[in-house]
Amino acid sequence: MRLHEYQAKDVFADAGIPTPGSEVASTVDDVVSIAERLGYPVAVKAQVHVGGRGKAGGIKLAEDSDEAREAAEDILGMDLKGYTVEKVLVEEAVDFTNELYVGVTMDRGEGKPVAMVSTKGGVNIEEVAEEDPDAIAREHIDPAFGMHPYQARKVVYDAGVDKAVARDVASILTTLYDLWASKDAADAEINPLMVTSDDEVVAADAVLNIDEDALFRHPDLAEMEDEAAGDELEAKANEYGFDYVRLDGNVGIIGNGAGLVMTTLDLVDHYGGKPANFLDIGGGAKAERVANALDMVFSDENVDSVVFNIFGGITRGDEVAKGINEALEQFDEIPKRVVVRLAGTNAAEGREILNDELVTVEETLEGAVQRAVEYAEEDQ
């Protein structure tokens, strides 16, 4: 779960990391009055979950109230890579001489947290990592002990941070690690961490992504999620408890188990179709879950056909088939043709039970996908 910049900055500021004065606004008038209060120049920053906001026109500087109004009018309501901007952060602009990067994430290869510092802040750090990996100093942390103070100093010195601010940067990194650990974060980043002409260090941006699996022990952070929700269908999937990812094709896909659903997507592509989504309904296939899954896929207007691919393991194929029949009988008219492939335990019995007036039954995975791709082409 990704927090917005303004939410992450609140968390960082509460922990003692210096941040510029700022406030959130959702109207043009509020932007101007906040800017007047903070004093110019200010930065007006779109609060959406997309990378490269600056380049896409989502961040503007304002020197006076006219410019603040203009920036607010431009940014509020704009479409940033598919997301509508509903909120902006109005923030004191920092007069900086230098931009650093500090971050903490999980190095999955090592199975350990890693703290990172670079003097090449202010740009996309993933590009730096690719083009100039030596420009990022790294230090692995033992999660049982947490980050020792010497490790924070070491990684800051290794990165070549100016001695005048090294102590402050190390202290901010220590706080950032503690936050990362205590909030069950996946990533905690400040990019850029700005250095001013009088050697002050200020967090000009804030990234805090929380491990979804740990949200149960952070109810305060979980509450922020609704505000941060993106795609409408993805929000609906959350409600139903499905793993769902919306894609841009027209073959709707429902299956059980992440690996098998991904494989179904790949096969749609392999046979010349375009997957509309990833939807894992998980274990079991009770009528209600099946109905919810179909509701999700049918509410995506791009979908022209649906492939339902269930491998019955412990869940028996005949039970799955009953669930699918019941779910489909609830529709007066089935909006798109549905191809069902059942395999595994009691699959043959399941195929017998399936009502072939409601669905097309296929025996093999490959056959089912090819059929759904055909239907999608015919019914476009």
Partner 1 sequence: MSILVDEDTRVVVQGITGGEGKFHTEQMLEYGTNVVAGTSPGKGGQEVAGVPVYDTVDEAVEAEDADASVVFVPPAFAADAIFEALDTSLDLVVAITEGIPTQDMAKVNKRLQEVDTRLQGPNCPGIITPGESKLGILPGNIFESGNVGLVSRSGTLTYQVVDTLTSRGIGQTTAIGIGGDPIIGTDFIDALEAFENDPDTDAVVMCGEIGGEDEEEAAAYIAENMDTPVAGFIAGRTAPPGKRMGHAGAIVSGSGTGTAESKINALNDAGVPVGDTPAEVVDHIEDLL
Contacting residue, 314, 332, 333, 357, with partner 1 by CB under 8 A: 314
Instruction: Reply yes or no on whether 244 is catalytic.
Output: no
Residue 217 as a binder of partner 1 (CB under 8 A): the answer is: yes
191 burial level (CB within 10 Å; 0-12, 13-18, 19+): buried
Q: How far apart are the first and last CA of the chain?
A: 35
Nearer to partner 1, 90 or 310 (CB): 310
Residue 39 as a binder of partner 1 (CB under 8 A): the answer is: no
Q: Which of residues 252-311 bind partner 1 (CB under 8 A)?
A: 255-263, 265-270, 275, 278, 280, 311
- Alpha-carbon span 184 to 104, nearest angstrom: 12
Strand partners, 351: none
Instruction: Please name the residues in contact with 10: beta carbons below 8 A apart, sequence gap of 6 or more.
Output: none
Other beta carbons less than 10 A from residue 263's beta carbon: 16
Nearer to partner 1, 164 or 258 (CB): 258
Residue ranges of alpha helices (H) inside the chain are 5-14, 28-38, 65-75, 125-131, 149-159, 163-182, 219-223, 225-228, 232-240, 258-270, 287-298, 317-329, 347-353, 365-378
Instruction: Please name the residues in contact with 190: beta carbons below 8 A apart, sequence gap of 6 or more.
Output: 12, 17, 101, 102, 103, 172, 176, 203, 204, 205, 206, 207
Contacting residue, 14, 130, 226, 357, with partner 1 by CB under 8 A: 130
Instruction: Please name the residues in contact with 182: beta carbons below 8 A apart, sequence gap of 6 or more.
Output: none
Contacting residue, 211, 295, 349, 377, with partner 1 by CB under 8 A: 211
Contacting residue, 37, 81, 112, 148, with partner 1 by CB under 8 A: 112
Tell me which stretch binds partner 1 (CB under 8 A): 29-37, 64-72, 84-92, 358-366: 358-366
Residue 366 as a binder of partner 1 (CB under 8 A): the answer is: yes
Contacting residue, 313, 329, 330, 356, with partner 1 by CB under 8 A: 313
How many residues belong to the site for partner 1 (CB under 8 A)?
54
Residue 111 as a binder of partner 1 (CB under 8 A): the answer is: yes
Please state the closest distance from residue 226 (CB atom) to partner 1, in A: 19
Q: Which residue has the tokens 């097309």?
A: 360
Instruction: Reply yes or no on whether 101 is catalytic.
Output: yes
Q: Which of 101, 177, 244, 375 is catalytic?
A: 101
CA atoms within 13 A on the CB side of 369: 23
209 close to 4: Cβ distance less than 8 angstroms? no
Contacting residue, 56, 78, 135, 247, with partner 1 by CB under 8 A: 247
Q: Where does this chain bind partner 1 (CB under 8 A)?
A: 51, 106, 108-109, 111-113, 126-127, 129-130, 142-144, 181, 184, 186, 211-214, 216-217, 243, 245, 247, 255-263, 265-270, 275, 278, 280, 311-314, 343-345, 364-366
Q: Which residues are part of the catalytic machinery?
A: 101, 189
